[in-house]
Amino acid sequence: MKIRKLNNGERPPIDLLLLADPSLRIVENYLQRGECFVAEVNDNIVGVYVLLPTRPKTVELVNVAVCEEQQGKGYGRKLVIDAIKVAKEEGYKTIEIGTGNSSIGQLALYQKCGFRISGVDQDFFIKHYEEEIYENGIRCRDMIRLAQNL
């Protein structure tokens, strides 16, 4: 797997980004302000992440997604590790990430990659998303915020 920054003029893989964030409006908003990176296997895009500067010396990993056929192969972990490496190289001191309270697999992955829970944004998904989201039989209501010092 090769990970690279999206080229100027290259269309971001919206279908993949929508796997991790079902709001096209929100995805388009952070794509305009952030840096998009893609993972390729045999010249096919199989994964994506977006880094979004939020405060001085702080960047947020706002989207991490792997196409469904390639999930379970460790690509998500490689994307998160690459995002941490890029953030360090770009001089950030803190990297943050948020995920839904129902995203059990993602919560485990992020903690295995060195993130620690830093807060909870209660009712985030109720306030910012029109449709109800369910994962693992749990209603996604709260944004679990995690951070890592670089």
pLDDT for the residue numbered 137 = 95
Q: Is the pLDDT of residue 130 over 90?
A: no
pLDDT at residue 32, as a whole number: 94
117 pLDDT above the threshold of 90: yes
Q: Dihedrals φ, ψ of 136, to 5°?
A: 55, 30
> Distance between CA atoms of 81 and 35, rounded to whole angstroms?
16
pLDDT at position 23, please? 87
8 A C-beta contact, residue 98 and residue 58: no
- Of residues 119 and 8, more confidence is placed in 119
pLDDT band at 131 (very low <50, low <70, confident <90, very high): confident
Q: What is the mean pLDDT of residues 63-85?
A: 95
**pLDDT, mean of residues 122-146:** 93
CA-based radius of gyration for the chain = 15
* Domains within the chain, CATH numbers bracketed: 2-149 (3.40.630.30)
pTM for the model stands at 0.92
Answer for the pair 112, 77: CB distance below 8 angstroms, yes or no.
Answer: yes
Q: Looking at residue 138, what is its pLDDT? A: 96
| Residue 26, strand partner residues | none
Q: Give strand pairing partners of 84.
A: none
